[in-house]
Structure 1
Amino acid sequence: MQSCSSAHCVLILLIFTFTAVYVSAVPPVKVKLNETATLPCYESCAGVVRWTVSHKPRDVLAECDQTSCRSVKEGYQMIHDQYLKGNLSLIITNADLSKSSTYTCECGKSEICDVYLQVEEKGTENSRNSEGMSHVKVKLHDSATLRCSERCSGLARWTVFHKPRDALAECDQTSCRSVKEGYQMIHDQYLKGDLSLTITDTDFSKRTSYTCDCDGKDLCDVALKIETVNTLVQIKAGESLVLNLDILDPLEVIYDCRGASGTFSGQICTVDGQSLECKPEYKHRMSKLTSDLELREMKPSDSGVYTIRDIKTKEDIHVYSVIVQDKPQPPWWSIVLITAFVILVLVALSLYLMKYSQTCRRRIQRFYRFLFLLFIEMYDIKLYSLNLNGARDARKRAVLYEMLKVKQVDGLPGFRKQTVTA
């Protein structure tokens, strides 16, 4: 074997070194299958910001500029309020295995961030927990099949694990019967040794362990679990956030806010039946409805992830990705136009009245004089507490005499007249 020259060895070493440095420099973000992922990027950009997949630079996922943000592809989004603050993070609302890749954020034509997303599979549909009991995990309202492959020549029954006398479905050599609606077994499969139970519409009330027995002898134990429900909520500042309580078991509400200042994560409330306990900063804003929690007066700083978690099993029941948007402010030019329009209307009305009425002309002239002098003295004269008898400043008296040329001054509506003492 021929040995490489020193120059070649150094070149190869440099290539591997820089490759390793680049790979390690790309920060990874790990999330579970179908969860919400946030790819962080904190940079200031006055132009257009775009997120793309690194190996597809022309395939834009989401973008922002000084005016607004746009989701070019469904499931990818940026927040305009955060963009203006230098937070250019990309939110992927439902991360599946196909989205495991390296993503690039560009400002103009300059790359500013590279983030690697790793989506971890939660496990197979039929797996076993630490106690040896198999479990099935399905999406909410999907059908679930609890598998049990055993021979039974007698009566095969499925029951809830902690209610052995409460039959759901059963089969014998003659036929199968659905004792409770929504649970069924198939007779042809029973004769072949497949005693599986099908639950046609799963919800959180059916999230428990089930047992199949043959003539009173336990054959199979299977736990049914429901996948975490992920919901994206976009509301305006000042509105209320409603969090559904999908189960009656004791729950906790966990708030997770990722921002430029760091990461905050912690429990903000617990719910047990009709009892609601919250931290002091949420006590006056959070209230319990019949089967919901309401968080009032939402602010942009309340944006983040709210998780409803089962306290006993530590399972995430419902995850809300919340975006609170500031109330849009009218552009400055609209205010200028409205003000100019009002002034033009007043001037036109004044000219019309001055032309056709001598009395109106004198009153309008007096009114304009009053406004002019009021503008000059606005920091010295308080009309709401006008008291000429006690005025110490002779200049104020002179100004007021000049305004109305009378010995009585009419206050604002609801205020009585003040008599001027010569």
Structure 2
Amino acid sequence: MIPFGHSPTWSLSGVHSYCLLLLFALCLGGMSVPVAVKVRDTAIIPCYKTCNGDVLWALTTKNEKLDVLRCVQGRCTEGSSFKNRVHLSHEKINSGNLSLIMSPVLYNDEGWYEATCDLELLCKFHLEVFVPTTVSVSVSGNVTLPCYARTEKTIADDSVNILWNKDDQMVLQVQKGHTKYGSGFTERASVSLHHYKDGDLSLNILGVTTSDKGLYRCYHNTDEEHGYPSAVSLIVTAHQKLCVKKFGDNLTLDLFGSDSVTVTFTGSDTEEIQVCNVTGNNTTCSLDYNNRVSVMNHSLVLRGLTSSDGGTFTVKDNMGEVISINTVTVEGVARNRSFVALLAFPFLVLLFIGLFLWCKYHRKSQVPENRSYYNARESIVVIESSQRESAYIGVPQQETNPNMSGDLEDYPGLPVEETMPVILTTEKQDNIAEE
């Protein structure tokens, strides 16, 4: 049994884990080292021994013992429960590498694996298979990773033992009343001793960063007493922010305490372009942004927003992981144009009405003056003038005889027009009235 406080598991996935496992196995030789993998992942059970005889890999569980892989005279055959899932890492069994590779790992593959050469024990390892619970949180958020176990309700605080690991590195350890923190988790990770007595060993993490993502495992007292679930996979997503700014405002992009980040911009009709590289308080920016940015309080400040700044600003850490996505809308230019148009509309309406009224008045001023018409059959009006001779109204000038006198009835043969317009001035109307 591995003493409490030491890392009890090896999480294997990919080339990096394989290399670490090889180094560890080289140091420890054939010592028993537990191997822990997620279900459906690939397990590499190391064994660096040389065999000139027959090699047998076998699985021992509480209830049975099964052949995993048997190699006789260089020809290997899988056991019935491991068909097409296992093979040696090296084709030659005398190469000094008898490591067993299993993919995919099934949940009931857990147990003790032994490698023998002509019935002589070479290597022995315990494979632990787990199904992690997935927890997701955004950058800068707080998260609780669940873990529960059977504990004593009246246990003294100095007797509590808790261990949380992340990717086989210590996150937090409570032992004999003292708490130790792993690198980067000081004052950010915690467990509650009060809740521990209720069976709750959950881990609290404040201000999550992208580097916090990974596989976490909870242990209680010894490596044989882990909580449930036995593993938690923490997924860290980018921080999402929607910003509505006015034309000319400043935009503040949180860098979330990262020492080195890259800021990019994507517009509605443009591809992603680089804005700045930020290291500490130093910035290296493109020409379009060089004189507009500064770093203040772990934030990048972009001054004097314009309509072209409307789009998405993305902040990435030095590993290319997205820290935050900032969607920016710049208001002001479009609104001002609409406002001017709104104000101009009433003036245009008034101008149109004024032009309409002016045209209507101008047309009226050109209409001929009203005239009065008199029927010559009903009345005869004689207009006298001191400057003109008497004339008969309604009689054509060429038919007027200056020698005539008296009324028209005295000249029955004289033709008379049906009607004749007469324009009467005020003075003439007065003279007629006097007559």
Q: TM-score range by the shorter chain?
A: 0.3 to 0.5
Structure number with greater Rg is: 2
Q: TM (normalized to structure 2)? A: 0.36
Q: TM (normalized to structure 1)? A: 0.37
> Counting helix residues as a fraction of each chain, which structure ranks higher?
1
